[in-house]
């Protein structure tokens, strides 16, 4: 019990080279750890199975941000392995730690359990293989206590996984693993392996619920199998491959233009145009617009038009409040909203007659249906 208490009180945050590297400092080093190498300060000899196949990279959702993405521990295909073969020798791991009380106590202090519970804890884990380079906090053993350092474990590393899909033991060294600590611009130490890219590193996040069955990829036969939580492969069963990860359609399809955006098509009525003297309106898209009445022609100044004879009458900037007939267009579809569509339905002679009668207001009722709009 004295040894256990001492180990619980002294969980060091030393780097593998013996220099201080406080886990919460926000800076430091990240050590690249090859799948087969034991690494610095191992707790035990390797318990990784030599016959474990090298799994190809996991098919994970595309990265959407510069930060290291989190992947749920329940994600199908996150882990690989060989059907009916354990990637780690769990019982050998139990024997190694049970034979060295100091290491057993230090191991227990990292995972937060009693030293007597270590064998049961190890047997509750599921031996699998990483299929993505994974960021973790690794814990070595030196001078009778646990050390702590940040690491990236290579894809293909044999690990033991807990009930929420979190890697908890690295089998090549027996080291306990915990979640990574965020660091600002850490230095990378170690030899990168072929295919390594910091843009492909992931962080495993604990699943919300307990993972009863892991969906595992088998590189030996390019198939898939289901492994129950805590099983070493004795009850593996074939299972269909999971569907490939997809991106939400909203991130691929650009937003469509607003339906209220103004548009003018060749089939839309052409607004009237302002002419002076004997000028003739210029055709547009093969259609000659009608001249606007002189009383509706905008003045040369940039100030808003105002009728000198009737200040309460409508202006060019105000939409007409009366419909020109049952077939008139709505404000969303009509290209002109100042009543000019009603005026373009009359011939120049009719417009001149109306001016002679003094009925030039665009809101005056029409004497009768005029010719169809020019299209």
- C-alpha atoms less than 13 angstroms from C-alpha of 54 in its C-beta half-sphere: 5
Nearest in space to 183 (alpha carbons), one of 201, 161, 165, 206: 201
DSSP per-residue codes, 23-65: TTSS--EEEEE-SS---SS-SSS--B-TT---PPPP--PPP-S
DSSP one-letter code for 248 = -
Residue-by-residue pLDDT tens, the chain, 375 positions:
433 333 333 333 445 544 444 333 345 899 999 999 999 999 999 999 876 445 556 666 555 555 678 999 999 999 999 999 999 999 999 999 999 999 999 999 999 999 999 999 999 999 999 999 999 999 999 999 999 999 999 999 999 999 999 999 999 999 999 999 988 888 999 999 999 999 899 999 999 999 999 999 999 899 999 999 999 999 999 999 998 865 443 333 334 444 444 443 444 444 566 666 666 666 665 566 666 655 444 445 444 555 444 444 444 444 444 444 444 444 344 444 444 334 344 444 555 545 545 544 444 444 455 544 444
Whole-number pLDDT of residue 30:
96
Q: How far apart are CA 154 and CA 160, in angstroms?
A: 15
Whole-number pLDDT of residue 75:
96
Whole-number pLDDT of residue 313:
45
DSSP per-residue codes, 58-93: P--PPP-SSSPPEEETT-TTSEE-BTTB-SB-HHHH
Beta-strand pair 29-33/187-189:
parallel
Whole-number pLDDT of residue 50:
74
Structure tokens at 359: 């009925």
Give all strands (DSSP E) within the chain, no chain letters: 29-33, 70-72, 79-80, 126-130, 134-138, 141-142, 145-146, 149-153, 158-161, 167-170, 175-178, 187-189, 203-205, 213-218, 223-228, 237-238
CA geometry: angle 357, 360, 366, nearest 5 deg:
85
Tell me the longest C-alpha to C-alpha distance in the chain.
116
Q: Would you say 167 and 204 are in contact if contact means Cβ atoms under 8 Å apart? A: yes
Q: How far apart are CA 69 and CA 111, in angstroms?
A: 24
Whole-number pLDDT of residue 69:
85
Whole-number pLDDT of residue 244:
80
| Tokens 């009778």 belong to residue | 144
Whole-number pLDDT of residue 61:
56
Q: CB count, 10 Å around CB of 20?
A: 10
Q: Would you say 204 and 135 are in contact if contact means Cβ atoms under 8 Å apart? A: no
CA distances from residue 110 to 67, 153, 243 in whole angstroms, order as listed: 27, 19, 37
């Amino acid at each position: 019990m004295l040894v256990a208490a001492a180990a619980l009180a002294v969980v060091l945050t030393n780097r593998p080279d013996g220099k201080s590297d406080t886990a919460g400092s926000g800076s430091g080093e990240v050590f690249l750890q090859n799948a087969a190498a034991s690494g610095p300060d191992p707790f035990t000899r390797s318990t990784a199975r030599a016959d474990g196949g090298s799994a190809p990279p996991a098919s994970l959702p595309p990265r959407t941000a510069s930060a290291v993405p989190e992947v749920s521990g329940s994600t199908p295909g996150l882990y690989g392995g060989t059907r009916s073969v354990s990637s780690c020798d769990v019982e050998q791991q139990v024997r190694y730690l049970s034979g060295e009380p100091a290491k057993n106590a230090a191991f227990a202090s990292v995972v937060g359990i009693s030293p007597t519970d270590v064998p049961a804890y190890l047997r509750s884990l599921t031996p699998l293989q990483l299929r993505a380079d994974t960021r973790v906090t690794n814990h070595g053993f030196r001078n009778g206590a646990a050390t702590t350092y940040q690491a990236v474990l290579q894809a293909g590393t044999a690990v033991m996984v807990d009930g929420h899909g979190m890697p908890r033991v690295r089998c090549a060294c027996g080291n306990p693993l915990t979640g990574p600590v965020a660091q600002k611009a850490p230095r990378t130490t170690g030899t990168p392996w072929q295919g390594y890219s910091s843009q492909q590193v992931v962080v495993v996040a604990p699943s919300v619920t307990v993972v009863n069955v892991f969906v595992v990829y088998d590189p030996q036969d390019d198939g898939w199998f289901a492994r129950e939580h805590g099983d070493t492969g004795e009850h593996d069963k074939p299972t269909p491959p999971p569907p490939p990860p997809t991106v939400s359609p909203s991130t691929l399809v650009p937003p469509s233009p607003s339906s209220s955006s103004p548009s003018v098509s060749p089939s839309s009525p052409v607004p009237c145009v302002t002419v002076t003297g004997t000028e003739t309106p210029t055709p547009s898209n093969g259609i000659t617009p009608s001249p606007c009445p002189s009383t509706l022609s905008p003045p040369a100044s940039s100030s808003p038009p105002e009728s000198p004879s009737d200040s309460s009458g409508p202006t060019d900037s105000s939409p007409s409040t009366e419909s020109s007939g049952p077939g008139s267009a709505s404000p969303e579809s009509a290209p002109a909203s100042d009543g000019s569509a009603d005026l373009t339905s009359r011939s120049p002679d009719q417009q001149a007659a109306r001016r002679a009668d003094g009925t030039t207001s665009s809101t005056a009722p029409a004497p009768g249906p005029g010719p169809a709009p020019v299209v």
